[in-house]
Amino acid sequence: MREIPGRRRRLLSQRGGESPESLGAALTCATQWQWPVLPGVATDPRRREACACPDPECTVPGAHPFDPGLLAATTDARMVRWWWTNRPTAPVILATGGRAPCAVSLPALAAARALHALDRVGMRLGPVVASPTRWAVLVKPYSMEQLGELLYAKDFVPGSLRFHGEGGYLALPPSETGAGPIRWERAPLPGSARPWVPDVEAVVDAVVEALTRTGVNAPEF
């Protein structure tokens, strides 16, 4: 692992108070649900909307892995405890794909409209992660080939959709990021051995149809 200059390392390890909720959430993901997680980079304590990573133009401040990198994501309870004991306020980052769910995300306003439309037609959804700017619907793991075929078959796919697949990541509750707090819009059922998630095909079909119906077709950020 390459060395990080002292100032940056201090920013990344900034404690800022105890956060047992983050440790508990990380342990639930890793040990109960078997979803690989790792701590995310902190926000800059001097400017909460800025990231502590070296990139001054970071587009997801405080909501991505940096040190350790994404490949370090694990389900090992000892490693998870060590990470969050040393960095108790670090965001909980899910490594999507593989053993963990993938996700389909869209802007918060469009997502709220889409979920309302899906509820009206009785579409079953699993957990939905929300930030102030974007919501993400967790789905079963998919391959890039599967996703490519799915999107190719569509006459239209809103430019506002983003996909978090194999090799991707997603910040989970109760993380605090530069965009604001991460929360569950649809929380996993209490006591679930492992949260149920739908197929990506069902979610993309339903979301595209809902966005088309509600007129939310233009890219949003």
How many domains is the chain partitioned into structurally? Answer: 1
Q: Across 81-205, where does the E strand assignment appear?
A: 92-95, 102-107, 128-130, 134-139, 162-164, 169-172, 176-177, 180-181, 183-186
User: Is 1 among the domain residues?
Assistant: no
User: Is 219 among the domain residues?
Assistant: no
User: Is 50 among the domain residues?
Assistant: yes
Q: Strand pairing partners for 139?
A: 102
User: Is 132 among the domain residues?
Assistant: yes
pLDDT tens-digit series, residues 34-65: 999 999 998 887 887 889 899 989 999 999 99
User: Is 220 among the domain residues?
Assistant: no
Show the domain range for 153.
Answer: 6-214
Cα 79-83-87 angle, rounded to 5 deg = 170
**pTM summary value:** 0.86
User: Is 221 among the domain residues?
Assistant: no
The SS3 of residue 44 is strand
pLDDT tens-digit series, residues 55-104: 989 999 999 999 899 999 999 999 999 999 999 989 999 999 999 999 99
